[in-house]
Structure formats: structure tokens, C-alpha cells
């Protein structure tokens, strides 16, 4: 009996370790809708899938949005707005009714994994803080009644203003004026293994206090490190320092097991005349470097290798947001679904116009270039629809397939679609999803260029950013290989213990 119990306990521990090892960092996107010119939720969901985005945060539980993401596999974070906190905190029946009417009809077809109860309540002029934890506990009770408390996690989002001090990171401390709110909240998060959700914007820190850090430091481009004098840890970017300030603030209150999740970050592509750092180039640089940093699973200096889930703000520009011009220009896409700037969610790098068939990465390995063309088996209607999308919302420059241009001949849909498909494919990281086009695109390893019609390829040896990508991809592949090896070893060990137990 004793031996069997300890074998089972050890096997369970191994399984938990195994699961933790194989669960990497993730990048998601915030889908705000404070605008009057946005595409329908169905089109937004299609755009998200087209760019292979797997995690989306919304700020309410809008029925049309929940329906749009059904059966997409995208994991959704939904929200209980601050305006509903009072009702949810006062009566259990309000939380029960909301869950019954707003969540259960769409779950699990719509893959809801998180519910945020309140958002940045300490920044609100209304006194919502005291209502958060009671509302959260009522929502948890509602989830328990239907058996979903282990599948859907609850938390509440905060601004970095919840800290009274964030530099150096090791001196991070929560504002004492929020103590009565934070103590029960942190106890709830620790008890239920929920993350501390925080919205972090290096852009604001740089804009409001440029003397406290360089632009390159905010953009992940710094050539030198910032040293924490208390720990000796070196910081190469502002985001890591701000995240670690949260971790140190948690540890100062003896909450050492709570994970930090970044539920908003990003960079505006346009601002008022005084907001000189709000440019498309800076926005592209920040978000590109952010994605690479996260997917490489490097963690932060204080938490090396720690899983980090990050949501980029935001999917679209939102024209009804108040404030400075930058507030309306955080989007990756315009309302017509064209890109504000090119961003590769895979972290694979920049695009060039090389015509070679092999690309050599920084470690000397050679990989075969692939192209994406239209399938000759696809129907004319499907191809035309996909071509229209690529040349419209897909943001492909289709001038080369216009009359008298190099790729106009042969004048047929398959040829024109092939050129457009490939351009989109290469501009979006040459991933499998970027060549899907509803099943009408296929990948080939033979260069389809002809005469003066040159098909784009994704290069990895032409620019600094591409070299960085090659290094990142290599480290990512190595990490995945190590994880697979550890997974296999632990699995074999686990099976042997379970097998011994049954004998």
C-alpha cells in the first residue's frame, strides 16, 4: 500500500513536470472594438486565423464575437466589464445568469480559457476595487456549478500604476494605497493558480520620461545593458525590467508562486506632433522584437526560462478612443483589414526579393526555399475570391499582374492568383497557414518565376534582422528538440512506474 502510494505520487509529479516543460510562451492579440468602422466579427476572426494567431483577448462577452470564433481553435480571453462588477459582487444569481446566457451557449465550440473580472480598476475614478474579489468568487462558484472551474481561469487586469516603484526591478513594490484590494486578490490568485495580469507599455514610460531610458532600450534594440544595482542582473529591454518589477513586488509580499501574464503591450504607429516616437517603423520594431523575445522562451533576467504569455494591443485602430492621437493608432490593421505595417507572428523575419533556391542561415546550414502557388484543381470561383482577398485586405501589391505588366501573361486566374498567393506567403513568414487560402494554395520547391515575372522569396541572409531571425529559429529548434527529448524520457519513466504498479 505504502509503496504503491509513493509510486503513484512520484509518477504524478513526473507528469506535472513533463507538462510544464512542454508548455511554451505564447503571443496573442487584443481585439478592442471602440470604433464605428470595424469589420464584422466574422471577418475579424478570419483575419486572426489567416495570420495564425491562436490567442485573442476581448473586453466583454459579445455574442457575435463569441459566435465568430466558434470552431476556430483560437483560445479566447473574455471580460466582465467594470460596470458589471457591482451586480456580480452583490448577488450570486447575477454571475450564474451571466454564465448561463453569455458563456455556456458558445462553450466549448468557442474555446474560452480565461475570464478577466474587471480591468485596471485602480486607474478608474469610480471605486471598483472592493468589488473585484467578491465578483470573482461568485463567477468561480458559477463555474464550479457547471464543472468548468478547472478549465476556465479567472483573474483581473492591472496597469503598471499598481506599483509605487518599478526601478530598479528588485525594488518593485505595490502601492500601499491599494493594499486592502490587493491582499485578498493575490490570495485568490495563489489559491487558484491564476496569473497576475498586467498591461505594460514601454512606449508610455519612454514618452513621459525619456530621460529614464533610451528609445532603443524601449524597442528591444539597446546595444548596452541596464544593471540592477541590488542584484547585478543585466537588462537589455524595458519590458523585462517592468515584468521583473512585478515579480519582485509579489515576492516582497511572499507570493512567490503567482505567474505574471502581460495582457496588453504594444506601440502606436501614429501620434500627435509631440509624440515623436509613435511611428510605423518604431511600432514594427517593437512588436517584431517582442514576438521574437517571447517565442524564444528566454524569460526575464529574474525569471530565466519562465513561460511568458503576452497579448499585443491591438488588432485594429479604434477611432472612438479618447485622448491623444496615439490612442487611436495602436492597431496592426486598419478597419479595411489592410496592414498598418508588416508583422510576422511567427518571428521568422524580414522579406527580400532574392530569386535563389537555397538560403544559408547564420549557422551555416542551408534550407530549401519554397513558393506558394494556386492549385490547378481549385475552382475558378474559389481562386477568384482568394485573389480578390490577397490583392485587397491581404495587402499584396498586385500591380505586376495588371495589363502590360511583367506577370499579366498568361492572362488567367491560376497564374494571377499564383503570383498574389506567393507574395502574401513570403510577406507573412512563409508559413503553412500563409499558403492556405481556403485550400486553394499549395507549396512548391521549384521557382515559378518566368521571363521578367520574378516571384518573391523570403531571404534570411540579406539583413541584420534576418540574421537575427536565423539565430532565433535555431535556438527555438534546439529548445524544441531538447523539450521533445525530455518529454520522451519522462514519459518512458512515467510508464515504467505505472507498469510496475499494475504488476
Distance between CA atoms of residues 362 and 451, nearest Å = 31
3-state secondary structure of 57: strand
SS (H, E, C) 459-486: CCCCCHHHHHHHHHHHHHHHHHHHHHHH
Q: Count the alpha carbons within 13 Å of 39 in the hemisphere toward its beta carbon.
A: 19
- Report yes or no: 122 and 159 within 8 Å, Cβ to Cβ: yes
Query: Where does residue 355 rank: exposed (0-12), middle (13-18), buried (19+ CB within 10 A)?
Result: exposed
**Which residues are catalytic, by number?**
120, 264
Distance between CA atoms of residues 468 and 371, nearest Å = 22
Which H/E stretch holds residue 283? helix 280-295
- Report yes or no: 268 and 4 within 8 Å, Cβ to Cβ: no
Name the residue with cell 480591468: 119
Cell of 259: 505567474
Distance between CA atoms of residues 172 and 165, nearest Å = 5
Name the residue with cell 475558378: 380
Query: Where does residue 302 rank: exposed (0-12), middle (13-18), buried (19+ CB within 10 A)?
Result: buried
Residues in a beta bridge with 309? 26
Q: Quote the crossing angle between the two packed helices 280-295 and 464-502, to the nearest 10°.
A: 30
Q: What phi and psi, each to the nearest 5 degrees, are found at residue 385?
A: -65, -45
- Report yes or no: 103 and 96 within 8 Å, Cβ to Cβ: no
Q: Taking Cα atoms as reference points, which of 293, 264, 22 lies closest to residue 158?
A: 264
Amino acid at each position: 500500500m505504502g509503496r504503491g502510494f509513493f509510486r503513484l505520487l512520484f509518477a504524478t509529479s513526473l507528469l506535472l513536470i513533463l507538462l510544464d516543460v512542454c508548455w511554451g510562451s505564447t503571443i496573442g492579440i487584443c481585439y478592442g472594438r471602440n470604433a464605428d468602422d470595424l469589420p464584422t466579427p466574422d471577418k475579424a476572426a478570419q483575419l486572426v486565423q489567416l495570420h495564425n494567431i491562436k490567442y485573442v483577448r476581448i473586453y466583454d462577452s459579445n455574442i457575435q464575437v463569441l459566435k465568430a470564433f466558434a470552431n476556430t481553435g483560437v483560445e479566447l480571453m473574455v471580460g466582465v466589464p467594470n460596470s458589471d462588477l457591482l451586480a456580480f459582487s452583490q448577488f450570486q444569481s447575477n454571475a450564474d445568469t451571466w454564465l448561463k446566457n453569455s458563456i455556456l451557449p458558445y462553450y466549448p465550440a468557442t474555446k474560452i480559457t480565461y475570464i478577466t473580472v474587471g480591468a485596471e480598476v485602480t486607474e478608474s475614478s469610480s471605486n471598483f476595487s472592493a468589488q473585484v474579489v467578491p465578483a470573482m468568487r461568485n463567477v468561480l462558484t458559477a463555474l464550479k456549478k457547471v464543472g468548468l472551474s478547472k478549465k476556465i481561469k479567472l483573474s483581473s487586469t492591472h496597469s503598471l500604476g499598481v506599483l509605487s516603484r518599478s526601478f530598479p526591478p528588485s525594488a518593485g513594490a505595490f502601492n500601499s494605497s491599494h493594499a486592502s484590494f490587493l491582499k485578498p486578490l493575490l490570495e485568490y490568485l495563489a489559491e487558484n493558480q491564476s496569473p497576475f495580469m498586467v498591461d505594460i507599455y514601454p512606449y508610455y514610460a519612454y514618452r513621459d520620461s525619456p530621460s529614464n531610458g533610451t528609445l532603443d532600450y524601449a524597442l528591444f534594440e539597446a546595444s548596452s545593458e541596464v544593471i540592477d544595482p541590488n542584484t547585478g542582473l543585466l537588462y537589455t529591454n524595458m519590458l523585462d525590467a517592468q515584468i521583473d518589477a512585478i515579480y519582485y513586488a509579489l515576492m516582497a509580499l511572499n507570493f512567490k508562486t503567482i505567474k505574471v501574464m502581460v495582457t496588453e503591450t504594444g506601440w502606436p504607429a501614429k501620434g500627435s506632433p509631440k509624440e515623436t516616437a509613435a511611428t510605423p517603423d518604431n511600432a514594427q520594431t517593437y512588436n517584431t522584437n517582442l514576438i521574437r523575445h517571447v517565442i524564444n522562451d528566454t524569460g526575464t533576467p529574474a525569471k530565466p526560462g519562465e513561460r511568458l504569455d503576452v497579448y499585443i494591443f491591438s488588432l485594429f485602430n479604434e477611432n472612438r478612443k479618447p485622448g491623444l492621437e496615439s490612442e487611436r493608432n495602436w492597431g496592426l490593421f486598419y478597419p479595411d483589414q489592410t496592414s498598418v505595417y508588416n508583422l510576422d507572428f511567427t518571428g521568422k523575419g524580414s522579406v527580400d526579393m532574392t530569386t535563389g533556391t537555397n538560403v544559408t542561415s547564420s549557422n551555416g546550414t542551408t534550407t530549401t526555399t519554397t513558393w506558394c502557388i494556386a492549385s490547378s484543381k481549385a475552382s475558378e470561383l474559389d481562386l477568384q475570391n482568394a485573389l480578390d482577398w490577397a490583392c485587397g485586405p491581404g495587402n499584396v501589391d498586385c500591380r505586376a499582374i495588371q495589363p502590360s505588366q511583367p506577370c499579366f501573361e498568361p492572362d488567367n486566374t491560376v497564374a494571377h492568383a499564383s503570383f498574389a498567393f506567393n507574395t502574401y506567403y513570403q510577406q507573412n513568414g512563409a508559413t503553412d497557414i500563409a499558403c492556405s487560402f481556403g485550400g486553394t494554395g499549395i507549396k512548391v520547391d521549384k521557382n515559378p518565376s518566368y521571363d521578367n515575372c520574378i516571384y518573391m522569396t523570403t531571404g534570411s541572409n540579406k539583413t541584420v534582422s534576418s540574421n537575427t531571425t536565423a539565430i532565433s529559429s535555431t535556438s527555438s529548434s534546439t529548445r524544441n528538440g531538447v523539450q521533445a527529448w525530455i518529454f520522451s524520457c519522462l514519459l518512458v519513466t512515467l510508464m515504467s512506474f505505472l507498469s510496475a504498479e499494475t504488476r
